[in-house]
Amino acid sequence: MNMLLAAVNGSGMNTWGLGILILIYVLIIGFLGFRGFRGTHTHKDYLVAGRETHPFVMAMSYGAAFISTSALVGFGGIAGQFGMGLLWLVFMNIAFGIFIAFIWFGRRTRAMGVELGAATFPEFIGRRFHSNGLRLLIGAIICVFIPLYSSVVLIGGARFLQEVMMIPYHWALGIFAAVVAIYVIFGGLKGVMYVDALMGSIMIGGMLLLLVLCYIKLGGVIPAHQALTDMAPLVKERMPEVYKLGHRGWTVMPEFNSVWWWTLVSSLMLGVGIGALAQPQLAVRFMTVKSTRELNRAVLIGAVFILCTVGAAYTVGALSNVFFYAPDKGIAGNVQLLAIEAAKGNPDLIIPMFIREALPTAVLYLFSLTMLSAAMSTMSSLFHVTGSSLGHDIYRSVTHSGCDSNLITRLGIFFGIVVSVLVAIALPPGIVARGTAIFFGVCAAAFLPSYVAALYWKGATRAGVYASISAGVAASLFGLLFLHAKEAASLGICKALTGKAVLISVHPWPVVDPFIYAFPLAIIVLIVVSLFTQKPGEALLSRCFPESKEH
C-alpha cells in the first residue's frame, strides 16, 4: 500500500493536465446535457424524462440528487466533530432513503402518478386529493425552502474549491451556478438525469479511493481506528466545554440525553434520515421509470451508492483527527491539532483541508471532480424542482394556462438559481450540515404524513392534508424561531418578543430538533381532521387504489 501511495505522490499533475481533465469533464457534461435537450420534445419529457428512464440511470440520478456536498463536505466535517456515531445516518439513509423509499413509496408513486397524469410532486398530491389549492400550497412551500437547501449545497462545493483549488469563494459560487444552469435549463429532467448518472459514478469511485488512501496514510484499517479510539481523553483535555456537552470520543456515541446526543440523534439521524422520504426532487424520480421492475432493479444500485459515498465520507471525517494530531503526519509545522481546531472552528473545512493536506496532488484534482459532481448533481435536481414548481404548478395553476411550452418552467429555474446564489452569499460559515438538517426536517413534517396518506390511506381527506401540511410547517417554523437554541439565538426574534433566548430553557428542549414534535403533530392533525371531514369520491379512489396496484 505504501508503494501505491508513493507512486501516486510521485505522479504529480501540472496545470496543463488539470486543464485537460476539466475540459474533458465539461465536454462530457455538455454532450449529456445536449442529449437531454435533443430528447426533450414535450412537457412530460422536460418534467419526468418521458417516463422511460433506465433503472441504472434512475438509481444513480436518485443517489446523486440525494447525496451532495452537504453530505460529503458538511456532514463529513460533522463526523470530524462527532465521530463514528454519524455512521448511524448511513444506515438511516439506506434503510429509509433507499429500501423503504423504493419498495413502499416508489412503486405506489409511479403507478398512481401514471394513473393521475402527474409530473411533479405538488401535482401528484393535488390530483390525488382533487385540489388545485393543495398543488399551489405545496409548490409555494417548495419555492420557499428549496433555495435554502440548494444554497448550502452551493456553499459546500464553493468551500471545497476555496480550500483545495484556492479559488475565491464568490467566484466558485458563480461558476457552479452558471455551469449547472446551462444543462438544467435546456436539457430538462432528461439532461439532469443523464449528467447525474455520470456524476454518481464519479462520486462512487472518488469516495472509495479517498477511503482507501486515508487508511494507507494512517497505517491501515486497524491502526487507524485504534489511534482514533485512543484519542478519547483528548476531548476532556483539549475541549472541556464540548466534553460537558456529552462528547466522549470519536468511536463512541455521545453520553445519553446530553446536548450532543440530542443533536446527533434528533437532528442528524432522525431528521435527515427520515426526511429523505419526503424530498420532492427525489419523489419525482419514481415517476420517470416505465414499470415496477425498473424500480426493483434500482434498489441495490442505490444502496451501494449510499454506502460507498457517505459511508466513506463520514469515516474519513472522523479519522481525519488522527491525521491532524499525529506529529509525523500533521500540518502547520507538526503542531498537534484536532480536526475542528485545524479547520479553525468551521466543520465545513475539515474534509477539504484533509484532502488538500493529506493526499497527493494528482488525487487532489480527481477529488475536485468528485466534489464538483456531488454539488452539481444535487443542485441540478433542486433547481429543476424549483422551476417546475414555479412554472408548472404555480403559474399554470393560477393562470389556468393549457400551454405546453417549457418557457415558464425554464424562467422559474433561472429565478431559483439567482435566489439560491444570493442566499448562499448571505448565509454564515459552518451552515452546510445544519441547513441540510433544517430542510430535511421541514420536508418530513410538512409532506411525509400527507404523502403516506396519499399512497395508502383511502380515508385521508383534502381538509386533513391541508391541516397536516400547515401544522407541520407552522410547528417547524415555531420551533426554529422560539425553541431550538441554535436558530432562535441567531435570529433573535424570540429574544426581541419575549426577552428570552428560547421560550423553554429546560434541558433538553433547546437542543431537540423541531422535527421531533412537528412530525408527530402533523400526523395527529391529518388523522383527526380526516376523520371529521368529507371523504374523497369513489371515482377518484377507484383510480388511485385499483385492485392491481402495480402496472
Q: For residue 35, count other CB atoms closer than 10 A to its CB.
A: 16
Least trusted range by pLDDT, from 29-38, 171-180, 400-409: 400-409
pLDDT band at 48 (very low <50, low <70, confident <90, very high): low
3-state secondary structure of 334: coil
Q: What is the pLDDT of residue 228?
A: 95
Q: Mean pLDDT across the stretch 451-478? A: 95
Which of the two residues, 295 and 310, has the higher pLDDT score? 310
Q: What is the pLDDT of residue 333?
A: 47
Fold of domain 18-421: Sodium/glucose cotransporter (1.20.1730)
Domain boundaries, the chain: 18-421
Q: Mean pLDDT across the stretch 51-68? A: 76
Q: What is the pLDDT of residue 549?
A: 46
Q: What is the pLDDT of residue 11?
A: 41
pTM equals 0.84
Q: Mean pLDDT across the stretch 399-424? A: 74
Three cell numbers at 166?
484556492
Distance separating the N- and C-terminal Cα atoms of the chain: 51
CA distance linking residue 390 with residue 388, whole number of Å: 5
- Tens of pLDDT along 274-307? 988 888 888 888 887 777 777 888 888 889 999 9
Q: Mean pLDDT across the stretch 93-98? A: 91
Q: What is the pLDDT of residue 244?
A: 93
Q: What is the pLDDT of residue 548?
A: 45
Q: What is the pLDDT of residue 165?
A: 62
Q: What is the pLDDT of residue 378?
A: 78
Q: What is the pLDDT of residue 254?
A: 94
Q: Mean pLDDT across the stretch 305-333? A: 82
Q: What angle do CA 348, 352, 354 make, to 5 degrees?
A: 115
Residue 104's contacts (CB-CB under 8 Å, 6 or more residues apart) are 455
Q: Mean pLDDT across the stretch 90-111? A: 90
Q: What is the pLDDT of residue 43?
A: 59
- Tens of pLDDT along 204-251? 888 898 899 999 989 999 999 999 999 999 999 988 999 999 999 999
- Tens of pLDDT along 497-521? 998 999 999 999 999 999 999 999 9
3-state secondary structure of 546: coil
Amino acid at 88: W
**Residue among 460, 454, 453 nearest 118 (CA):** 454
DSSP tally for the chain: helices H, then strands E: 29, 0
Residue 444 near residue 515, CB atoms below 8 Å? yes
Q: What is the pLDDT of residue 46?
A: 56
Residue 325 near residue 338, CB atoms below 8 Å? yes
Per-chain mean pLDDT for the chain: 81
